[in-house]
């Protein structure tokens, strides 16, 4: 059994981690921390876990965390980096669901997150936890940076095209929509029901924090610099990411079976589902599941390819992918604890 601790279990990604790990056949949940809710039984805050999680929230304790095999951080940006060096020295494996270790450049991280990085020496070591790209490195890692939700949907949608060199990498467009849970569980006027219901808006158009993360991953794919326009939108639904991706095809692409390209790229990936030609994936088809569903279109046979990529932002975009990374890291079946079917309606 893998002894697991969770730091910051009161947010949406934290409770999603609890839901998945409580049903995991190879996991022992050792502790869940929260300074503000210490002593409160987890099932009182999250009644869906009644009968499945008997722990109470506890104040962070370095010794208790050091006794775990794996510690997940489901905390705001800037928190994990304060504690990770000590945990690594204790021999604990760490998976951070926030952004503390996603970017390799400390100056770039400080620019986007508004504070200096507390342990820049670990940025080079941290493995970016996108299994479809870094599975081998994840197996050997001490520290895993779990990808963001938008970056997961966008990268999985564009990777096959960039790997094959079939599109103009300098003119990529990611038009993405997210459910309100992507903003977290904090109290905020902008995410109140009356503010988001029956409305739809773009936000952070000049620059979203996930932009450098997406660019970094795509740059690595081509060994150069991509040109990417990324526009996120807030939609009045609880869960889900829908990424509509646009790429200009090269001349070589006209002779390529693009449907087959995607199917072959993800044939052995348990959590990427390439839909039949002409499909339109829906966010509800992945609700609660650790699955990315992808469909490709070439409108009117022109030179623009449209890729549709959908995930649940709390599962494949956060907690589910973190569990997937833990499975790989600990030598468990990659699908362990993640075989649940999406919820409809």
> Tell me: the pLDDT tens digits for 299-327?
999 999 999 999 999 999 999 999 999 99
Summarize pLDDT for 129-149 with one digit per residue, the tens.
Answer: 999 999 999 999 999 999 999
User: Is residue 253 scored above 90 in pLDDT?
Assistant: no
Asked if residue 239 belongs to a domain, the reply is: yes
Here the CATH number for the domain that contains residue 67 is: 3.40.50.720
Average pLDDT over residues 160-183: 96
Same domain, 277 and 178: yes
- Check whether residue 106 and residue 186 sit in a common domain: no
Q: What's residue 280's pLDDT?
A: 98
Q: Considering the domain boundaries, does residue 261 fall inside one?
A: yes
Percent of the chain at pLDDT above 90?
92
Q: What domain count does the chain have?
A: 2
- The answer on pLDDT for 192 being more than 90 is no
Whether residue 287 is found in the same domain as residue 162: yes
Is 343 part of a structural domain of the chain?
Answer: no
| Same-domain status, 162 and 306 | yes
Beta bridge partners of 231: 175
Phi, psi dihedral angles at 189 (to 5 degrees): -60, -40
Same domain membership, residue 164 and residue 103: no
Does 183 lie in the same domain as 79? Answer: no
What is the set of active-site residues? 149
Tens of pLDDT, residues 96-133: 999 999 999 999 999 999 999 999 999 999 999 999 99
Chain mean pLDDT for the chain: 96
In a domain, 22, yes or no: yes
The pTM of this model reads 0.96
The pLDDT value recorded for residue 121 is 98
Looking at residue 72, its pLDDT comes to 98
Residue 280 belongs to domain with CATH number: 3.30.360.10
Instruction: Using the predicted structure, report yes or no on whether residue 331 has a pLDDT greater than 80.
Output: yes
Distance CA 54, CA 28 (A): 12
> Is residue 189 domain-shared with residue 73, that is, in the same domain?
no
Is residue 107 located within the same domain as residue 170?
no
The two beta strands, 2-7 and 70-73, are: parallel
Residue 141 domain-assigned (yes or no) = no
Domain match, 108 and 31 both: yes
For residues 45 and 178, membership in a common domain is answered with no
| pLDDT, tens digit, 9 for 90 and up, residues 279-295 | 999 999 999 999 999 99
Share of the chain above pLDDT 70, in %: 100
Is residue 187 predicted with pLDDT exceeding 80?
Answer: no
The pLDDT assigned to 90 comes to 97
- pLDDT band, very low/low/confident/very high, at 193 (cuts 50, 70, 90): confident
Query: 296: which DSSP letter?
Result: E
Alpha helices in the chain (DSSP H): 12-22, 42-45, 62-66, 80-89, 106-113, 131-139, 149-164, 193-196, 210-222, 258-265, 320-329
Same domain, 121 and 155: no
Q: Is 204 exposed, middle or buried (0-12, 13-18, 19+ CB in 10 A)?
A: middle
User: Has residue 90 been placed in a domain?
Assistant: yes
What are the pLDDT digits (tens) for 1-55? 999 999 998 999 999 999 999 999 999 999 999 988 999 999 999 999 999 999 9
Range of the structural domain that residue 245 is part of:
150-313
Identify whether 113 is part of a domain: yes
97 shares a domain with 30: yes
Confidence of residue 188 (pLDDT cuts 50, 70, 90): confident
Whether 344 is in a domain gets the answer no
Instruction: Decide if 176 contacts 244 (C-beta within 8 A).
Output: yes
**Which of 90, 125, 160 is the C-terminal boundary of a domain?**
125
Per-residue pLDDT reduced to its tens digit, 199-218 = 999 999 999 999 999 999 99
Q: What is the pLDDT of residue 183?
A: 84
At which of 82, 109, 125 does a domain end?
A: 125
């Amino acid at each position: 059994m893998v002894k697991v601790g969770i730091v910051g279990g009161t947010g949406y990604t934290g409770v999603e981690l609890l839901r998945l790990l409580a049903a995991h056949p190879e996991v022992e949940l050792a502790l869940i921390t929260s300074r503000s809710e210490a002593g409160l039984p987890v099932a009182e805050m999250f009644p869906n876990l009644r009968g499945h999680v008997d722990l109470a929230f506890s104040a962070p304790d370095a010794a208790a965390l050091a006794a775990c095999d794996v510690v997940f951080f489901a905390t705001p940006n800037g928190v994990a980096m304060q504690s990770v060096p000590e945990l690594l020295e204790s021999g604990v494996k760490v998976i951070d669901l926030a952004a503390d270790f996603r970017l390799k450049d400390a100056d770039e991280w400080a620019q986007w997150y508004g504070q200096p990085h507390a342990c820049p020496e670990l940025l080079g070591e941290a493995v970016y936890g996108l299994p479809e790209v870094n599975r081998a490195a994840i197996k050997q890692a001490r520290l895993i940076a779990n990808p963001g939700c938008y970056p997961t949907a966008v990268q999985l949608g564009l990777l096959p095209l960039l790997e094959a060199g079939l599109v103009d990498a300098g003119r990529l467009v990611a038009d993405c929509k997210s459910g309100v849970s992507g903003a977290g569980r904090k109290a905020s006027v902008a995410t109140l029901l009356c503010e988001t219901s029956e409305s739809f808006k773009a936000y952070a158009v000049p620059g979203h924090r996930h932009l450098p993360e997406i660019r970094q991953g795509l740059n690595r794919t081509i060994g150069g610099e991509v040109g990417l326009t990324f526009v996120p939108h807030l939609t009045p639904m609880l869960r889900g990411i829908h990424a509509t991706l646009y790429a200009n095809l090269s001349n070589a692409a006209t002779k390529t079976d693009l449907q087959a390209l995607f199917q072959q790229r993800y044939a052995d990936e348990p959590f990427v589902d390439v839909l039949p030609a002409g499909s339109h994936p829906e966010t509800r088809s992945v609700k609660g599941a650790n699955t990315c569903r992808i469909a490709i279109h070439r409108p009117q046979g022109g030179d623009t390819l449209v890729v549709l990529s959908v995930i649940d932002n709390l599962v494949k975009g956060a907690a589910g992918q973190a569990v997937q990374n833990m499975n790989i890291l600990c030598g468990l079946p990659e699908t362990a604890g993640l075989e649940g079917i999406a919820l409809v309606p």
